[in-house]
Structure 1
Amino acid sequence: MSRCWKSRPRPSVRLCLPGLGSVVLRVLEVLWVSVCLVHSDSSVVVQKEAQFGVSYLDTVTSHNQTIYSFNHTVSRNKTEGVRVSVELLSETTKSPILFVIRQKQAVLSFQVPLILRGLYQRKYQYTQVGRTLCQPPTLVASETQFFYVDVSTLSSTSVHYQLRVSRVESFTLQTDKKFSFNATPSQPQFFKYVFPDGVDTVIVKVNSEKNFPCSVMSIQDIQCPVYDLDNNVAFIGMYQTMTKKGAVTVQRKDFPSNSFYVVVVVKTEDEACGGPLKFYPLLPDELLDAGNRSKTLDVVVSPAINSEVYVMGMLFCLGIFLSFYVLTFLVACIENKRMNRKREGFLQPADMSPAETGKGLTPPSPYEYGSFADNGSTMSSEPVTDSLASAEGTYGYMERSMDTVGRCRQESLSSVEEDDYDTLADIDSDKNIVRTKKYLCVSDLARKDKRVLNKKYQIYFWNISTIAVFYALPVIQLVITYQTVVNVTGNQDICYYNFLCAHPLGALSSFNNILSNLGYVMLGLLFLLIVLQRDILHNRALMRNDITALECGIPKHFGLFYAMGTALMMEGLLSACYHVCPNYTNFQFDTSFMYMIAGLCMLKLYQKRHPDINASAYTAYACLAAVIFFSVLGVVFGKGNTAFWIVFSVIHILATLLLSTQLYYMGRWKLDSGILRRMLYVIYTDCVRQCSGPMYIDRMVLLVMGNIVNWSLAAYGLIKRPNDFASYLLAIAICNLLLYFAFYIIMKLRSGERIRCLALVCILFTAVVWGFALFFFFQGLSTWQKTPAESREHNRDCILLSFFDDHDIWHFLSSIAMFGSFLVLLTMDDDLDTVQRDKIYVF
């Protein structure tokens, strides 16, 4: 049934306004009526009663307009989707067809052919358009609603089209039930989901077998209009690009209607998903062929975890690390009881030790602390007599009188600055004599006043504490801003989460990734407590003039240990900050203190046998700052930049050579204008005139191996140019640390020293934990080196308690492994606590 009008009734408006105003309004009325009459004379409006599921083939020109009238029953308890599909049948047309769909509470309009813009304002046209009508909620149990499809054009020639309006089956998604559908850029799809009773959080998963074309998944509230085109899908709600996988966690509290739309849009171009970037010549009115961009997708809505799982995850995390506190307390109690028994066993019948009575002591040895018997290139091979027992746990009594001990203790407590010693006129020659000996003992490199050295190494702790405060505060502020932007804009491409296992809590999008960093903080604090306990015991021994603490073992300086524990805690804090919103711009937050930990561990290893000549805190932190500086440059400019990699490789090799020279000559060399002349002289005398091997063979082996490793890493970086420069730089630091640690252990065993049971257990336990930790680290659940859509292809479900993923387990295991590594450094030389320092070799 249709109705036609050749003319429209003339509108009549009676105005009773006096004066000039009434005249103006009367003129405007006449003009408006004239326009209406002209329009009524030049166009024909046809209204048709239309049916669902029927295809209407029709034509339209500028002289006629068609209105299709539809009606359907809307129920409050049942949502029915309505889809309008239009196809342009005419091959060429200068003016598009305009479709306006008028509903009870909304208006939807579009043109055919549909023009969508891509990157660089490139335009693509689509002759087939399909749109789903929004369905606002109704307040009554059931009602009949009408909607109208107006078709018009400004084309003077007839334009043929096909119109079809149909009901959408399975418009409402069911929980845990997969639904498949097709979508194109001009034919987006959206579906409704209603939260069932008892479910407060769900995870919406959209999957596809094909990477491309690139798509966008959006979660929008139930309202009109629905933003379901590539150029407006980001206007509202949460959205993310996707290739094969997409997942969004949705909470009931964010949607007052207890329901939401799942919108899937296929993009006009693939650049957002890492596809090929094609540059076309841009002409003013150029239209590009969109090609076949149809994509088949599956959507599943599943309930997310409940509050009980959150509680279990937090209790599990706390339980693991609190167990280390309990274990440490038990080990400390057992060790204290064992030491008390040994002290009681060595007490004399008069309940006095030889150190207290002053009896049974032999005359001083020429190898006593602070002296050296051989100033030449070799050490005397004559045995040094002492009363130190070689069996485990025995106490050795120093070959000194109590007067000597008291005097040394008094001097140690005197107010002496390091410069008071180093500025003496004969110190340089004395250093040359001592440090250039072929075989060195710890006593040769522990000649500076203990109080001065303690101050020197305490600066490490205070400096890193200051750095931590100034570094952490802006980081925390920045990541809060990131999270706020994500929550406000709904753009989930900003942060690279594992969306299949990202459990929100409050404003945080991935609480589990933040919680799993708790181990670094708790174990770092536990290590500080262990170091503090050792520091207190050592100071008590010094205060009572304990000869073993004064003259035996590796000199006890705890400043670097305090700095290591602080760095471990800061690593946990900054890693948690990074995982608030992990992305390309803040990755250095997660790695900065890793560099510091690796550097401090190497410094501590070197300090054990070289306490007098170790680097100062200012020099060490300046070098670490340079490393972090290059890390930032590499992340920003390193990708595919040949010049950067050449410069970095040259600097890396030169730094390796300078450090090797510093270590080989124990700092007894100068970098000045005569360095080349001295190098040529050494080559001439040691290689040309006579073929003599290196004087310090062990050191030479270490440095040759170190140079081979570092040069190889530099060559690898220059050739491969890895995208993840920060991880590459961290790999360099770890390789050097492992090489030096292996050298230390080998030389320790070669020197006749042994590793006690506790240290050996720590070494084996730490090695096993590091192995498992690295396995989970290389699972790669996300990567900011790629586009967000490509990163989501690596997302995987939770594997532990339905709360933690592989990366969380890496956090657990790596924090335990770092804590174990620190314990190894703390305990590995405990076997030397009763050995005189002039019998402990330097290597």
Structure 2
Amino acid sequence: MVFRSCWKSRHKNVSGAAGPRWIRPGLAALLWFCVTQFVCGAVGETKNVVQKDAEFDVTYNDTVTSENQTIYAFNHTISRNKTEGVRVTVDVLSQGLESPILFVVRQKQAVLSFQVPLILRGLYQRKYPYNHVGRTLCQPPTRALSETQYFFVDVSTLSSQGTNYQLRVSRVESFTLQTDKKFSFTASPSQPQYFKYVFPDGVDTVIVKVNSDMTFPCSVMSVQDIQCPVYDLDNNVAFIGMYQTMTKKGAITVQRKDFPSNSFYVVIVVKTEDEACGGPLRFYPLRPDELIDAGNRSKAIDVMVSPAINSEVYVMGMLFCLGIFLSFYPLTLLMACVENKRTMITFSLPVDTNRTLFILTHVPLSLLLSSERSLDSVGRSRQESLSSVEEDDYDTLDDIDSDKNIVRTKKFLYVSDLARKDKRILSKKYQIYFWNIATIAVFYALPVVQLVITYQTVVNVTGNQDICFYNFLCAHPLGALSAFNNILSNMGYVMLGLLFLLIVLKRDIIHNRAMVRNDLNALECGIPKHFGLFYAMGTALMMEGLLSACYHVCPNYTNFQFDTSFMYMIAGLCMLKLYQKRHPDINASAYTAYACLAAVIFFSVLGVVFGKGNMVFWIVFSVIHILATMLLSTQLYYMGRWRMDSGVLRRIVNIIYTDSIRQCSGPLYIDRMVLLVMGNIVNWSLAAYGLIERPNDFASYLLAIAICNLLLYFAFYIIMKMRSGERIQCLALVCILFTAVVWGFALYFFFQGLSTWQKTPAESREHNRECILLSFFDDHDIWHFLSSIAMFGSFLVLLTMDDDLDTVQRDKIFVF
């Protein structure tokens, strides 16, 4: 009965020929009309409804009031082989409206409604009115070769005053995007644009690239499935599909498998405000209902869809990556053969010819045999008791407490002075470095992997590509991963870290065999061989690769610490290894070292969370940095014999007064003083820079401090080695030169800056660039390749740089 009364009322109030054509829109149109008639009757109004047959590309100037309603009836023919867009453009000519005009477009499978002035909201619910509105109608698919479809534009208002408007419906001839062809258009907040793309045969993945010469206004690029309605306004564009904000550049990789219809819409929406793209913050209105003039926010945009790489490029990229790093294994094997020959010759030479002749001519044979048996028994007992050594046994040398103050404060120290502890005790001590970092790696990596998987899942489910800061112009997906190439390029850290562990293991085995043979060179010559720190360095390099890959699953500011944590570890372990070479007895324990590194990582997290522009944080950190530098300098200068207690200030004043003021004497240890003065200058300068500039990327700033200190200490070590009359062998020299060159190229690619989470996602995309290697790897991937090789080379330098001392007695090797 309700439908029948509505039908009668419809024919009673509608003027114009609309008999059979009114039935075609279907049940939705009839229901909508019944509701409007019911509302009009409820308020006691009689609305005059006028229907007009309308044509495309004709501008209709008309007036609407609360007493009349106009319906424009359109028809057009669509075909399955050709897609045309239909665009409705509306202008409201009257100003100071009490009530807006409502436009309702009724189609076969969708209803689109909008009011004019169109009120769009920005940050803090600011309101922006737009009197000029343009909307594209969605195109439902048709199964017939050709079909005539009808749609209606209904215009109504509740304003009692007459409101003038203009209505124009036109065809969009270039509605379908063509592969590798640039298409240009203009969009604004009230006039969004979208276009259709159909996957051609043989193409499964494409990259949609959007460019503009204008940084602002900020806009949103979206890829949506072919369906109605199309979400093309600032307040609903994020409802479905994939989307990202953009200023000048935007790119989304689209796969055919995600779109069952083998086609999709590319939607461009201009935002009402620019804060999302890093633009200035607009003023806040004085009244909540105040409308703000948005001004001219039109933006000229180019869009182009290009085929992405195929599976062959993926295979080539993976084979290239494997080939580069696997090639280091046979090269290392060749070098190991040469090294074996050198080692055999070294360990077969006597330490001192005169000493050997004296023993052979003056010592009875029976005593020699008994000494050899006793040495063999001592060696066996050391090996058998190695597993039972406890950490509490580290300082069990009887005279260690009585004479270490005397030994360590001598003006000239030799390695024999600081290598007095039992080797089995020190080996156990330094093996703790390896086991501790292995434990840390497991407990650190598991939650990291879980977290980045969650990040990637959120990106895939929500379609929000502002979460992760990729180089979108060279981000190749594989499975659920959005940028597989950035993950694959970290393979070098893992493979070269494993290779370094094998090299260290080989040296460890050779050295242990020499110790079992009681070889005099192994027992009394060269830098004491302790491999625990080397094992820890190799493990840290492998973990750096794993965690860097995790970071690149979804790079952003909250998980950047994953990429840098083991870089701090590597820098710290390298400095400890340099110090251990000449100071094996007094090097820091694993627990102290890792506690300090944990404090560094803790400050790294605090810097990411609180460091941006926070003056209090930077003051506290700078003070701690300077105090830690002074404390470490004192410990290094006095070889750990400076007590940190309540009388430390009194002793400092006393030394300054007696040595510097009263006697005017210079420092006792000149070389150490030069190093520490330079170190303090560098660290104080870095602290001052951080306090003044307060860089946004605190983690990188902290890493720069660690690298600067490592380079300073390494340069000091090389200089002092040359000053002491020592030489660098050919293998170590080649490693140094090779590593320096590779580091130079690596840093060049690192500073290309393809993306940055220090800015907004839209600003970060302005730095995106195309792939430069095999159409698969970008500049940052090459940084991964080169930096992993450079770190491996740096480790080899530390491993081989003192090989020239393998035949020099320890009481002739200087400590510096």
The TM-score with structure 2 as length reference comes to 0.92
Partner residue, 1:636:
609
Partner residue, 1:24:
none
Distance of aligned partners of 1:711 and 1:762 in 2 relative to their CA distance in 1, 3 Å threshold: same
Deviates more, 1:495-504 or 1:418-427: 418-427
Alignment of 1:228 with 2:232, yes or no, is: yes
Deviates more, 1:518-527 or 1:414-423: 414-423
What do residues 92-112 of structure 1 show as CA deviations (whole Å, max 9, x unaligned)?
211110000000111100000
Structure-to-structure mapping, 1:137-152, within 5 angstroms: 137-152=141-156
What do residues 364-402 of structure 1 show as CA deviations (whole Å, max 9, x unaligned)?
9xxxxxxxxxxxxxxxxxxxxxxxxxxxxxxxxx9x985
Distance of aligned partners of 1:74 and 1:712 in 2 relative to their CA distance in 1, 3 Å threshold: same
Partner residue, 1:80:
84
Structure-to-structure mapping, 1:462-473, within 5 angstroms: 462-473=435-446
Partner residue, 2:661:
688
Partner residue, 1:524:
497
Residue 418 of structure 1 contacts residue 448 of structure 1 at CA under 8 Å; is this kept in 2?
no
Residue 7 of structure 1 contacts residue 37 of structure 1 at CA under 8 Å; is this kept in 2?
no
Distance of aligned partners of 1:560 and 1:674 in 2 relative to their CA distance in 1, 3 Å threshold: same
Partner residue, 2:357:
360
Partner residue, 1:286:
290
Alignment of 1:771 with 2:744, yes or no, is: yes
C-alpha separation in 1, matches of 2:422 and 2:87: 87
Partner residue, 2:21:
none
1:533 alignment partner, one of 471, 488, 506: 506
Structure-to-structure mapping, 1:699-710, within 5 angstroms: 699-710=672-683
Partner residue, 1:842:
815
Alignment of 1:574 with 2:547, yes or no, is: yes
Counterpart amino acid of residue 258 in structure 2: D
C-alpha separation in 1, matches of 2:39 and 2:189: 39
1:321 alignment partner, one of 319, 325, 335: 325
Distance of aligned partners of 1:614 and 1:676 in 2 relative to their CA distance in 1, 3 Å threshold: same
Partner residue, 1:249:
253
1:238 alignment partner, one of 217, 242, 246: 242
Partner residue, 2:411:
438
Alignment of 1:650 with 2:627, yes or no, is: no
What do residues 540-569 of structure 1 show as CA deviations (whole Å, max 9, x unaligned)?
111111111111111010000000000000
Q: 1:676 Cα deviation (Å)?
A: 1.3
Counterpart amino acid of residue 619 in structure 1: T
Partner residue, 1:187:
191
What do residues 787-835 of structure 1 show as CA deviations (whole Å, max 9, x unaligned)?
0000000000000000000000000000000000000000000111111
Partner residue, 1:49:
53
2:140 alignment partner, one of 116, 125, 136: 136
SS in 1 for 2:715: helix
Q: 1:361 Cα deviation (Å)?
A: 4.2
Counterpart amino acid of residue 214 in structure 1: C
Partner residue, 1:459:
432
Q: 1:334 Cα deviation (Å)?
A: 2.9
Counterpart amino acid of residue 101 in structure 2: I
What do residues 146-203 of structure 1 show as CA deviations (whole Å, max 9, x unaligned)?
0000000011111110000000121100111101100000000000000111111100
Q: Which runs of 5+ in 1 are unaligned?
A: 10-30, 347-352, 365-397
Aligned residues: 779
Distance of aligned partners of 1:340 and 1:613 in 2 relative to their CA distance in 1, 3 Å threshold: closer
SS in 2 for 1:220: strand
Q: 1:679 Cα deviation (Å)?
A: 1.1
Q: Which runs of 5+ in 2 are unaligned?
A: 1-8, 16-34, 362-367
Q: 1:236 Cα deviation (Å)?
A: 0.2
Alignment of 1:196 with 2:193, yes or no, is: no
Q: 1:410 Cα deviation (Å)?
A: 6.8
C-alpha separation in 2, matches of 1:87 and 1:34: 29
Partner residue, 2:311:
307
C-alpha separation in 1, matches of 2:593 and 2:641: 19
1:271 alignment partner, one of 268, 275, 281: 275
Q: 1:685 Cα deviation (Å)?
A: 1.1
What do residues 242-273 of structure 1 show as CA deviations (whole Å, max 9, x unaligned)?
00000000001111111000000000000000
Q: 1:282 Cα deviation (Å)?
A: 4.6
Alignment of 1:589 with 2:593, yes or no, is: no
SS in 1 for 2:545: helix
C-alpha separation in 2, matches of 1:544 and 1:279: 82
Partner residue, 1:176:
180
Q: 1:362 Cα deviation (Å)?
A: 5.2
C-alpha separation in 2, matches of 1:34 and 1:597: 76
C-alpha separation in 1, matches of 2:342 and 2:105: 88
Counterpart amino acid of residue 795 in structure 1: N
Partner residue, 2:712:
739
Quick one: percent identity of the two aligned structures? Answer: 83
Alignment of 1:498 with 2:471, yes or no, is: yes
SS in 2 for 1:289: coil
SS in 1 for 2:428: helix
Distance of aligned partners of 1:457 and 1:36 in 2 relative to their CA distance in 1, 3 Å threshold: closer
C-alpha separation in 2, matches of 1:49 and 1:40: 29
Q: 1:403 Cα deviation (Å)?
A: 7.9
SS in 2 for 1:539: helix
Residue 405 of structure 1 contacts residue 547 of structure 1 at CA under 8 Å; is this kept in 2?
no
Counterpart amino acid of residue 651 in structure 2: R
Q: 1:429 Cα deviation (Å)?
A: 3.1
The structure where helix makes up a greater share of residues is 2
SS in 2 for 1:487: helix
C-alpha separation in 1, matches of 2:390 and 2:46: 104
Structure-to-structure mapping, 1:378-417, within 5 angstroms: 409=379
C-alpha separation in 2, matches of 1:717 and 1:613: 32
Partner residue, 1:720:
693
Residue 203 of structure 1 contacts residue 249 of structure 1 at CA under 8 Å; is this kept in 2?
yes
Distance of aligned partners of 1:292 and 1:764 in 2 relative to their CA distance in 1, 3 Å threshold: same
Partner residue, 1:90:
94
Partner residue, 2:119:
115
What do residues 128-147 of structure 1 show as CA deviations (whole Å, max 9, x unaligned)?
00000000110000010000
Partner residue, 2:22:
none
Counterpart amino acid of residue 677 in structure 2: V
SS in 1 for 2:139: coil
SS in 2 for 1:147: strand
SS in 2 for 1:669: coil
Deviates more, 1:781-790 or 1:679-688: 679-688
Counterpart amino acid of residue 624 in structure 2: I
C-alpha separation in 2, matches of 1:632 and 1:307: 39
SS in 2 for 1:623: helix
Counterpart amino acid of residue 623 in structure 2: V
Alignment of 1:207 with 2:204, yes or no, is: no
Distance of aligned partners of 1:107 and 1:601 in 2 relative to their CA distance in 1, 3 Å threshold: same
C-alpha separation in 1, matches of 2:295 and 2:14: 45
Distance of aligned partners of 1:225 and 1:32 in 2 relative to their CA distance in 1, 3 Å threshold: closer
Distance of aligned partners of 1:472 and 1:361 in 2 relative to their CA distance in 1, 3 Å threshold: farther
Distance of aligned partners of 1:612 and 1:404 in 2 relative to their CA distance in 1, 3 Å threshold: farther
C-alpha separation in 2, matches of 1:698 and 1:708: 16
CA RMSD of aligned residues (A): 2.5
Q: 1:6 Cα deviation (Å)?
A: 5.4
Q: 1:673 Cα deviation (Å)?
A: 1.0
Counterpart amino acid of residue 836 in structure 1: Q
Partner residue, 1:749:
722
C-alpha separation in 1, matches of 2:756 and 2:347: 57
Structure-to-structure mapping, 1:795-834, within 5 angstroms: 795-834=768-807
C-alpha separation in 2, matches of 1:148 and 1:244: 38
Residue 358 of structure 1 contacts residue 402 of structure 1 at CA under 8 Å; is this kept in 2?
no
Counterpart amino acid of residue 133 in structure 2: V
C-alpha separation in 2, matches of 1:219 and 1:75: 24
Q: 1:680 Cα deviation (Å)?
A: 1.4
C-alpha separation in 1, matches of 2:655 and 2:373: 47
Counterpart amino acid of residue 176 in structure 1: D
2:595 alignment partner, one of 601, 622, 631: 622
What do residues 562-605 of structure 1 show as CA deviations (whole Å, max 9, x unaligned)?
00000000000000000000001100000000000000000000
Distance of aligned partners of 1:355 and 1:170 in 2 relative to their CA distance in 1, 3 Å threshold: same
C-alpha separation in 2, matches of 1:627 and 1:421: 27
Q: 1:423 Cα deviation (Å)?
A: 6.3
C-alpha separation in 1, matches of 2:398 and 2:417: 19
What do residues 399-448 of structure 1 show as CA deviations (whole Å, max 9, x unaligned)?
x9858966875785566656457367853330001000000110000001
